[in-house]
Chain A
Amino acid sequence: AQKITQTQPGMFVQEKEAVTLDCTYDTSDQSYGLFWYKQPSSGEMIFLIYQGSYDEQNATEGRYSLNFQKARKSANLVISASQLGDSAMYFCAMRLHGGGFQKLVFGTGTRLLVSP
């Protein structure tokens, strides 16, 4: 079964500290992509970072980095130097191929709260 698992319903971090949001995935495909999206209280889905299954280096985008451990099937998001504006829901997602199309399968999300 192709599935994304986010085991942390909620996380708390103090401003300026680093935080890791966990994501594990399950797929038998050799080619896949892993994404992280941020959903603030306003509701929109904001793309943060992408990692391809064949990428050897971990993806980084500013304060966001993706800790990709292929053998363990994990794709954890690391946010360095947390800011108050990072408080939001965070979704891990996996791109799957099938029948000539691609779809995203999402985890259930982790709510991050950054305190002053």
Chain B
Amino acid sequence: NAGVTQTPKFQVLKTGQSMTLQCAQDMNHEYMSWYRQDPGMGLRLIHYSVGAGITDQGEVPNGYNVSRSTTEDFPLRLLSAAPSQTSVYFCASRRTGVGQETQYFGPGTRLLVL
């Protein structure tokens, strides 16, 4: 299993540009989520999904869109990038259900918006 994969690893954008951060997992996990990590802060939840076709907002959803057309993929879209979106983005997945506590994180995407 590859686990949780994210592409790209690094990206530089200009203000106003759009892009999609890719996330995929091959563990058949129902639950997937996107977090951002800023200096001096822990990770904050952006969006999450409990299964294909079901998504919802986390703590800091503004400026981001998601969709979940398959169990494996959960892309994060920035429609019009802003410097405040400069951050490291982590995708995570886990099984739902009692006892399925471990959340697996991808390696992260480092985004710089100029």
Chain A contact residues, CB within 8 Å of chain B: 4, 33, 35, 37, 43-47, 50, 52, 91, 93, 95, 99-109
Contacts and interface: CB of A to CB of B under 8 A. Distances in A.
B108 A43 contact: yes
B108 A44 contact: yes
Contacts of B44: 106
B76 to A, nearest CB: 16
B105 to A, nearest CB: 4
Given A106-B42, A107-B42, A101 B50 contact: yes
B41 A103 contact: no
A101 B48 contact: yes
Given A47-B102, A109-B42, 14 more contacts: A44-B107, A45-B43, A45-B105, A45-B108, A50-B101, A52-B101, A93-B42, A95-B101, A102-B96, A103-B33, A103-B48, A104-B45, A104-B92, A108-B40
B90 A108 contact: no
B56 interface: yes
A4 B59 CA distance: 15
Contacts of B106: 44
A50 B102 contact: yes
B93 to A, nearest CB: 12
A47 B102 CA distance: 7
A45 B50 CA distance: 21
Interface in B85-114: 88, 90, 92, 96, 101-108, 110
Contact of B42 (A33, A101, A108): A108
Given A43-B88, A99-B56, A4 B42 contact: yes
B61 interface: no
A108 B102 contact: no
A99 B88 CA distance: 27
A34 B91 CA distance: 19
